[in-house]
Structure formats: structure tokens, C-alpha cells
Amino acid sequence: MIKAKINNVDVEVPEGTSILWAARKANFTIPTLCSHPDLVPGGQCGICVVEIEGIPGLKRACMTPLGEGWKVHTHTARLMEIRRQLVELILSYHDTDCLTCIKNNNCELQALAATLGINTVEWHSLEERLPIDRSSAAIVRDPNKCILCGRCTQVCSNMQTVNALAVNHRGYSTVITAAFDMGLGNSVCINCGQCVVHCPVGALYENSHIEKVWDAIHDPDKFVVVQEAPAVRVMLGEEFGMEPGTLVTGKMYAALRRIGFDAVLDTNFSADLTIIEEGTELVSRLKTGKNLPLITSCSPGWIKFMETFFHDMIPHMSTAKSPQQMFGALAKTYFAEQRGIAPEKIVSVSIMPCTAKKFECQRPEMRASGFQDVDFVLTTREIGRMLREAGIDLNEMPDEKADSLLGEYTGAATIFGTTGGVMEAALRSAYFLVAGRELESIDIAPVRGLKGIKEAEIDIDGLKVKVAVAHSGGQARRLMEKVQDQLRNEGKSEYHFIEVMACPGGCVGGGGQSWGSNMAKRARRGESLYAEDRSLQHRRSHENPSIKVLYEKFLGKPNSEKSHTLLHTHYYKRSTVDGDIIAEQ
């Protein structure tokens, strides 16, 4: 432990703790724009500089570990003046149309300028308007808002190992762009949106579908159905000031009904369906021994990552569509049929913790119903904005239920929203499918939590099934390289089943989550999903009564021909230069 004084207050912190975090422990907040609790500090903004007695010059608090016996000063007159000037320099370069900015009231730069009491900017305006990159289906980049803090490039390169965003040019002309300046839509970007959730300002945000959804809702000829991803029910509360992880399922249904969705359904239903289809696939592959390990396909960020960097793993991928797309295919077929609505009248909207879902819904193969299966995707942030615009406070909502047919779900479905959840849900059902009886302990602890790559071995009637779970592009890459090596050198992998999610923490850490997120919040959301799982009557997907009805009335049996047409998909080989499709596999 290191003992020191910060502004004459004694602090004791573990060795290696930066002055920035040590000061927070002493209840002093040193301002910063580039540091983030989950990232390695890069020292770009310089705003966190502090004075240390006996050490010449100023030190960046974010990247200076506190030393034994140091006397640190964080808010001297000189430091306060320097900070004001640095922020003024940033503002001289920044597009300060705050009122029309997507981050208005959620912007770290805006908040800092207010905290430091900056009323005027002494320097010349250096601002030059650059074109906004709208090439991506999922993410918009506005270089005029960018302060070059380096968080987006760090998450893209280090956390996700995608390297779609990088620093280009130098000095005053420095910009962050995708390769060859061709735009994010023509890059290897996997649309995960981790850059978006880490951006301190309004330089990165989702490609909004709000207007189109309002148009659909206000069109009397349209029947607008809505589905909500598992993770959304533990995230939406944050948009209304609730504690991270607050479970708001019933309030969410009520609010969505009030803003005019014609049917409020639930992605959790199709999550259960995914388990039946994918679980059946797993059981059949375990029996034949072919194309093992089976790898999950729920995360559209992971899918594009795999198609771009690991397309040799395509035979190992589950062909099951993601829950969003299964839902979409059923909404315009089964649901339309059962409710007697013409499918062309149905507008299918999904609410997702994810930006990549916006890319997924417009993939050319996602038209099994004869129409685009899912028309619009709203992030958690977007639905928050819509509800506020409609004058609805989630806090005041009663608890309601989802509509029938595509609304019922089990505990297995709800844990899809966190890393390890799909794996656990699949094992609960696969065990039943293989052994013909239920798993004794329903909670599979080794696949839970935020540890890097998680592994477990489950004994299914003497068959030892080795599984692994990875969350984030970086961990997925490590795991896939290991599997590739094993397949190449030994002809087979030690794993039978692998779950991959593109975002750290799984969907609760998705690119569509509320601003100002960090790993601690992601963890609380995940815990909340496990709590909901425990509270539900049915906790195994194969126990979902509506799923049974669906198979009886419509699909026949799992992995049937009709299932395959509607619920399964195929993948492409993509270019590592521009992410374009090179070949269909």
C-alpha cells in the first residue's frame, strides 16, 4: 500500500494506483476528458495535470502512479488556470452547437466547461467543418465534435482488435477515420458501437431510426410490432435516472404501449426459440462429431468479426439466426397469420442494447418472410429519447404484460443479455435433449461473470462437454486463434461449444447502452438478469408454453424445413480491407 497526501488529506491506495483514482478516494475529483475507468490512459487532454512537491514540472494524474510519501496538489491557482486554458483551446476547435448535439446534457466536455466556469473562449475559432461520415448502417461519425481523446481508437484496436478507426494525418490536421477515408460503412467496422459508448462527446452516435419509427407509429395503415432484447429491461431504467440494473420489464411494456406500438412483444420469446434450434443443432453435432466446436451466432458484431477475420470458422457457426431476426421472420409470417394481419402492413421494430443490430436487420439475406424481417432497430438510448419526447416517465408506469404469441419467455431467455447466458441457457436445454431429464443444478456458475475467457466442463450422461465463453472482439480473437491452432495441429478442438459476444460483458455492455457506461454498471445489469431468471416460473427454454404452441401450430419440429427457411441463415467471407462480401459460404 502507498501512503501519501493529496491536498493535505491522507490517502492509502494499492501500489500502482494513479493519482487520478487516488484523489477520488480522498474525495477530490480531478477533471479529465480522455481518461476512462476501463481504459489505459493515453494522456491526450492534459487537463488532469497536478503538482507534486519536490518533483519538477506538472504530472498527468491519469498516468502517474501515486508515490510513497508524496504531497500532491490537485487544485492550485496555477492548475486551475491551466485547465481553463486547455478547455478553452479545445472549445476553439470544437463545433459548439450544443443545443442540437446528440450529446446535449450528456457531454463530458460540456459538463467540464460548466464545472470550470468557462463563459468565453479567448482564442480564435479554429473550427473547420468537415463532412460527417454517414456511410455506416449503424454508426455516424462527426469529426467536428471529435476532441481526439483516443478512447474510440483504443477500444477499437485494443479491446476489440478490429482496428477500423485510427488516427490519420498529424498535428492540427489530425483526424480519426476509417481506412483510406472510405467511411465506417466501407471498413472492417463490426458495428459493435464500443467507440460510441466510450466517446466523451458527440462525435460518435447511432444511425438513428427514431423518425422512421415515429412515421410508422403515426401511420394509421401500419401495424407496428415491437420486440425488446433481454438486456434492455435492465438498462432502460438508467435513461430515467434509475439505478444501473433496475429491472423494468413491466414498466417497459406499459410505456411502449402508451407511445403507440400496436403489439408489444418480446425478443425473449425468440431467445427461447433460438435455444431450441441451436440446442438441437448442438445435440446433432455432438452425436455426429462434425463441425465441432459449435459457435453461437446471436451477436451481429461477432458475426461480422468472424466473417472478416475468421471466415474459416464458418462451418462451425450455428446456422440459427439471432433472436432479433427469428422474431422478425415470425412477426411477418406466424404472427401475421395468427392475428389475421397482412404482412405488408406490419412494421417490425426492435429495441436493442446494440448498434450492430441496425446492420444485421438490413443484411440482404434477412428477408425470410418475403419482406425485410425487421424494419427498424432502436437502441436503448433512442427509445429513451422517444419516451421522453412523448412525455412518458418510465418511473410512473404501471407493470403490464407483453402481448401473446411472441411475448412469453423463460429465465433461460432473459440471461441471454449477459455474457455466458446463451451458453447456460443452451446447456439447460441440451442436457434435457440428450439425457431426457433435467440438469440437477440449473445455475452454471463457471460461465457467469466478467472474467476474460470462461471455460467449463459439463457431464451430460457421461459425455463430457467442454465449453468456452468469450466476450469482446479481443477475447474472441484469442479464443479463435487457439481453436484454429487445435484444429490445424490436432485435427480437433478441446471445445464442443463456444459462446461469443462482441461486447465486453455481453449485451448489457452493448453499443446501444446509456451514455456514461463502465464495466461496473455492466456487471450490475448482468446480476439483475440472473435475479430475474431466478424469479421466473419457467427457467428452461423448452418449458416455454408459447414455444410449444409455435411448433405445434406452425413450425413442426426443431430444425424442420420450415424452421430452416425462416430461422436459419448463412454467412459470407468478407474483405479485411473494406468489409465487403467476397464470397458466400
Partner 1 sequence: MNLVRNHVLISIDAGTIMAGARAVEKALIDEIAAQGLTAEISVLETGSIGATGQGVILVVYPEGVYYGNVTPQDIPELVEEHLLKGRPLKRLILSEIPVQHVIKKEKTGLLKEQPRIVLKNSGIINPENIDEYIAENGYEAIAKAITSMTPDEVIEETKKSGLVGRGGAAFTTGMKWDFARKAAGDIKYIVCNADEGEPGTFKDRLILEGDPHKLIEGMLIAGYAVGASKGFVYIRGEYALSIERLEKAIAQARQYGLLGDNILESTFSFDITVMKGAGAYVCGEETALIESLEGKRGHPRNKPPYPVTEGLWAKPTVVNNVETLANVPEIILHGASWFRGYGTEKCPGTKVFTIIGNVSTPGLIEVEMGTTLRDIIYEYAGGIKNGKKFKGALVGGAAGAFLGPDMLDVKMDFVNLKEYSAVLGSGAILVMDEDVDMLDMLKSVLHFFRHESCGHCVPCRLGTAQLVKIIDRISASKGKKDDIDKLLKIAQVMQATSFCPLGQSLYLPISSSLKYFGGEIHSRVR
Q: How far is the CB of 142 from partner 1 (least distance, A)?
A: 18
**DSSP result, 469-532:** EEESHHHHHHHHHHHHHHHHHHSS-S-SEEEEESSTTGGGG-TTSPSS--HHHHHHHHHHHHHH
Cell digits of residue 524: 450490475
Residue type, 123: W
Minimum CB distance to partner 1 smaller for 31 or for 245: 31
Minimum CB distance to partner 1 smaller for 169 or for 534: 169
Residue 180 interacting with partner 1 (CB under 8 A): no
Per CB under 8 A, contacts with partner 1 among 147-166 are 147-148, 150, 166
Distance CA 325, CA 364 (A): 12
Q: How far is the CB of 78 from partner 1 (least distance, A)?
A: 8
DSSP-based helix, strand, coil % in the chain, nearest 5: 45, 15, 40
Segment lying near partner 1 (by CB under 8 A), choices 42-50, 250-258, 275-283, 454-462: 42-50
Give the count of beta carbons closer than 10 Å to the beta carbon of residue 528.
Answer: 25
Among 80, 82, 98, 118, binds partner 1 (CB under 8 A): 82
Minimum CB distance to partner 1 smaller for 67 or for 446: 67
Segment lying near partner 1 (by CB under 8 A), choices 16-24, 172-180, 504-512, 529-537: 172-180
Distance CA 116, CA 7 (A): 19
Mention every residue, 6+ apart, whose C-beta is less than 8 A from residue 198.
Answer: 36, 39, 151, 152, 154, 155
- Quick one: which of 158, 153, 182, 161 has its CA closest to 578? 182
Residue reference for cell 431504467: 237
Among 44, 158, 338, 560, binds partner 1 (CB under 8 A): 44
Query: In Å, what is the CA distance from 258 to each residue of 174, 238, 298, 400, 461?
Result: 46, 19, 30, 11, 49
Residue 58 interacting with partner 1 (CB under 8 A): yes
Cell digits of residue 565: 427457411
Residue 171 interacting with partner 1 (CB under 8 A): yes
Among 80, 89, 531, 577, binds partner 1 (CB under 8 A): 89
Minimum CB distance to partner 1 smaller for 46 or for 407: 46
Residue 489 interacting with partner 1 (CB under 8 A): no
Distance CA 558, CA 554 (A): 11
Minimum CB distance to partner 1 smaller for 92 or for 484: 92
Minimum CB distance to partner 1 smaller for 153 or for 513: 153
Among 54, 99, 120, 172, binds partner 1 (CB under 8 A): 172
Query: In Å, what is the CA distance from 568 to each residue of 39, 281, 304, 321, 408?
Result: 37, 11, 16, 5, 21
Minimum CB distance to partner 1 smaller for 15 or for 459: 15
Residue 470's φ and ψ, nearest 5 degrees, are: -125, 140
Q: How far is the CB of 42 from partner 1 (least distance, A)?
A: 8
Distance CA 27, CA 331 (A): 52
Residue 70 interacting with partner 1 (CB under 8 A): no
Using omega within 30 degrees of 0 as the cis cutoff, is the peptide bond preceding 293 cis?
Answer: yes
**DSSP result, 423-460:** HHHHHHHHHHHHHSS--SS---GGG-SS-SSEEEEEEE
Segment lying near partner 1 (by CB under 8 A), choices 89-97, 99-107, 375-383, 510-518: 89-97
Burial tier of 579 (Cβ tally within 10 Å: 0-12, 13-18, 19+): buried
Mention every residue, 6+ apart, whose C-beta is less than 8 A from residue 479.
Answer: 453, 468, 470, 498, 500
Q: How far is the CB of 96 from partner 1 (least distance, A)?
A: 14
Among 38, 67, 80, 92, binds partner 1 (CB under 8 A): 92
Residue 60 interacting with partner 1 (CB under 8 A): yes
Residue 57 interacting with partner 1 (CB under 8 A): yes
Residue 80 interacting with partner 1 (CB under 8 A): no
Question: Is residue 324 a contact partner of residue 361, using CB atoms and an 8 Å limit?
Answer: yes
Instruction: Number of residues interacting with partner 1: please give it, by CB under 8 A.
Output: 34
Minimum CB distance to partner 1 smaller for 120 or for 489: 120
Minimum CB distance to partner 1 smaller for 60 or for 448: 60
- 117 CA to centre of own chain: 35
Q: How far is the CB of 93 from partner 1 (least distance, A)?
A: 5
Residue 575 interacting with partner 1 (CB under 8 A): no
Among 21, 46, 134, 222, binds partner 1 (CB under 8 A): 46
Residue 178 interacting with partner 1 (CB under 8 A): no
Among 13, 22, 49, 189, binds partner 1 (CB under 8 A): 49
Q: How far is the CB of 187 from partner 1 (least distance, A)?
A: 17
Residue 67 interacting with partner 1 (CB under 8 A): no
Minimum CB distance to partner 1 smaller for 45 or for 423: 45
Segment lying near partner 1 (by CB under 8 A), choices 167-175, 380-388, 419-427, 437-445: 167-175
Segment lying near partner 1 (by CB under 8 A), choices 57-65, 183-191, 385-393, 552-560: 57-65
Q: Per-residue x/- mask for partner 1, residues 110 to 149, rule CB under 8 A?
A: ------------xxx-x--------------------xx-
Q: Per-residue x/- mask for partner 1, residues 350 to 389, rule CB under 8 A?
A: ----------------------------------------
Positions marked active-site: 278, 281, 298, 318, 357, 360, 365, 507
Terminal-to-terminal C-alpha distance of the chain: 56
Burial tier of 5 (Cβ tally within 10 Å: 0-12, 13-18, 19+): middle
- Quick one: which of 91, 90, 92, 110 has its CA closest to 100? 110
Residue 487 interacting with partner 1 (CB under 8 A): no
Minimum CB distance to partner 1 smaller for 128 or for 365: 128
Distance CA 274, CA 329 (A): 13
DSSP state of 334: I
Q: Report the interface residues with partner 1, using CB under 8 A.
A: 41-47, 49, 57-58, 60, 63, 82, 85-86, 89-90, 92-93, 122-124, 126, 147-148, 150, 166-167, 169-174
